[in-house]
């Protein structure tokens, strides 16, 4: 598929060997460091212009941390981040500011991520003020009105407070705020998980429309595999701080290769009773281990039905097994 296209897709974001290790301190008077949480541990991925990279994985595997570190909202302990061709991982705060404008974030919880004491117009307009894009009062008003309309709200709603809105409407406000500064890249961290099923489709469609209209690229983090399948161009699967598989949406769902990806896809029930009645339900045992003390070798080995001797000792590297399809697993000569 990729070979058919005339031009190489253009990289917008390029994250290489990213790691975020949080120190753990002993409780007590002297906060001695007693270890580290390897929340993100050597993650490499690209986001191409106009695409959506989906990111899935179980709770605590490092999805949000990866997103935050990519935007430098938290500092990485290692690796590099290129944005629009430029290494931003070592830029000073001042130099970073104009670039920040081009990279935005939409958060999971539309209830706690909006300041309850601010009017919706000012929540949306805040990034305009921060980046000195507001100009006159009239311009500010016009731009915030426009943003409200883009996300399907009415301009008169700008004078209300967040608590007067439903969950879906609040998520629209969060999206409007992210769009205020004309970004090219938006990280969406579980943007629909807190919403009612009947509202999720409204937001997903809105995000797809905006992507078309403004040529946006998304890193879309979610745990709902059906939502990720729907919205993504490519999908990365994380387990315990690492990407274990990355492929086009089609390859990942039709030909999952890492045993963890396979287990994940088998564990998720499909909304189709006839299909469910026939499906095999192999269920992997155990829970995700702690990133404070991850298993040796491949961190999935204690739960993996295919594990062999080397899996316990050698960490598999992410290797391309097919064009655009990479897997970190010894079964594939990792």
Partner 1 sequence: MALLEVKNLHTHFFAEGSVVKAVDGVSFDVEPGETLAIVGESGSGKSVTAMSILRLIPNPPGEIVDGEIRFEGQDILEMTDEQVQDLRGNKIAMIFQEPMTSLNPVLTVGRQIAEPIELHRQAPLDKALEMAKVLLRKVHIAEHDKRVSSYPHQLSGGMRQRVMIAMGMACEPKLIIADEPTTALDVTVQAQLLELLKELTREGHSSLILITHDLGVVARYADRIVVMYAGRIVEQGTARDIFERPHHPYTIGLMNSIPKLDQDTKEKLIPIPGAPPDLANVPEGCAFNPRCEFAVEKCRQQRPTLEPVAVGHYKACWVDVRS
Output 64 or 217, the one with its CB closest to Mg ion: 64
- Among 59, 92, 136, 198, which residue interacts with ligand ATP (rule: CB under 6 A)? 59
70 touches ligand ATP (CB under 6 A): no
Q: In angstroms, what is the minimal distance from the CB of 9 to partner 1?
A: 17
Output 62 or 110, the one with its CB closest to ligand ATP: 62
Q: How far apart are CA 315 and CA 295, in angstroms?
A: 10
- From residue 179 to residue 218, what is the string marking binding to ligand ATP with x (rule CB under 6 A)? ----------------------------------------
Judged by CB under 5 A, the stretch of 37-45, 62-70, 78-86, 250-258 that binds Mg ion is: 62-70
Judged by CB under 6 A, the stretch of 53-61, 88-96, 112-120, 130-138 that binds ligand ATP is: 53-61
CA-to-CA separations, 116 to 146, 170, 177, in angstroms, rounded: 22, 11, 15
Asked if residues 66 and 238 have their Cβ atoms less than 8 Å apart, the reply is yes
CA-to-CA separations, 236 to 52, 76, 263, 297, 332, in angstroms, rounded: 11, 20, 15, 20, 17
70 touches Mg ion (CB under 5 A): no
Output 40 or 175, the one with its CB closest to ligand ATP: 40
Task: Using alpha carbons, select from 299, 230, 241, 1 the residue that is nearest to residue 218.
Answer: 230
Task: Using alpha carbons, select from 200, 151, 156 the residue that is nearest to residue 177.
Answer: 151
**Widest Cα–Cα separation across the chain:** 68
Asked if residues 102 and 83 have their Cβ atoms less than 8 Å apart, the reply is yes
Q: In angstroms, what is the minimal distance from the CB of 242 to Mg ion?
A: 16
Site for ligand ATP in 2-41 (CB under 6 A): 22, 37, 39
Task: Using alpha carbons, select from 322, 323, 304 the residue that is nearest to residue 312.
Answer: 304
Output 5 or 59, the one with its CB closest to ligand ATP: 59
64 touches Mg ion (CB under 5 A): yes
Q: In angstroms, what is the minimal distance from the CB of 69 to ligand ATP?
A: 9
113 touches Mg ion (CB under 5 A): no
Cβ partners under 8 Å of residue 274, min gap 6 = none
């Amino acid at each position: 598929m990729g070979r058919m296209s005339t031009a190489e897709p253009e990289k917008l974001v390029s994250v290489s060997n990213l790691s975020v290790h949080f120190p753990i301190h002993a409780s007590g008077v002297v906060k001695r460091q007693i270890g580290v949480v390897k929340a993100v541990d050597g993650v490499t991925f690209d986001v191409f212009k106009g695409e959506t990279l989906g990111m899935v994985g179980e709770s605590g595997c490092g999805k949000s941390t990866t997103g935050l570190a990519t935007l430098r909202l938290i500092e990485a302990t290692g690796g590099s981040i290129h944005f629009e061709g430029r290494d931003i991982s070592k830029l000073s705060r001042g130099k970073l500011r104009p670039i920040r404008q081009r990279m935005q974030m939409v958060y999971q919880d539309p209830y706690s991520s909006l300041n309850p004491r601010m009017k919706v117009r000012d929540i949306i307009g805040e990034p305009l003020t921060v980046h000195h894009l507001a100009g006159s009062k009239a311009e500010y008003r016009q731009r915030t009105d426009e943003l409200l309309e883009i996300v399907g709200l009415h301009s008169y709603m700008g004078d209300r407070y967040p608590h007067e809105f439903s969950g879906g409407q609040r998520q629209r406000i969060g999206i409007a705020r992210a769009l205020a500064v004309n970004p090219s890249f938006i990280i969406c961290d579980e943007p629909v998980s807190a919403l009612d099923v009947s509202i999720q489709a409204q937001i997903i469609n809105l995000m797809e429309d905006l992507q078309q209209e403004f040529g946006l690229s998304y890193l879309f983090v979610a745990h709902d595999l059906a939502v990720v399948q729907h919205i993504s161009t490519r999908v990365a699967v994380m387990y315990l701080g690492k990407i274990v598989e990355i492929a086009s949406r089609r390859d990942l769902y039709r030909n999952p290769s890492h045993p963890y990806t396979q287990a994940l896809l088998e564990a998720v029930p499909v909304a189709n009773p006839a299909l469910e009645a026939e499906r095999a339900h192999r269920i992997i045992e155990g829970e995700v281990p702690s990133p404070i003390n991850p298993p040796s070798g491949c961190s999935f080995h204690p739960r993996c039905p295919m594990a062999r001797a080397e899996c316990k000792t050698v960490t598999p590297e992410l290797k391309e097994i097919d064009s655009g399809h990479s897997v970190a697993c010894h079964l594939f000569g990792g």
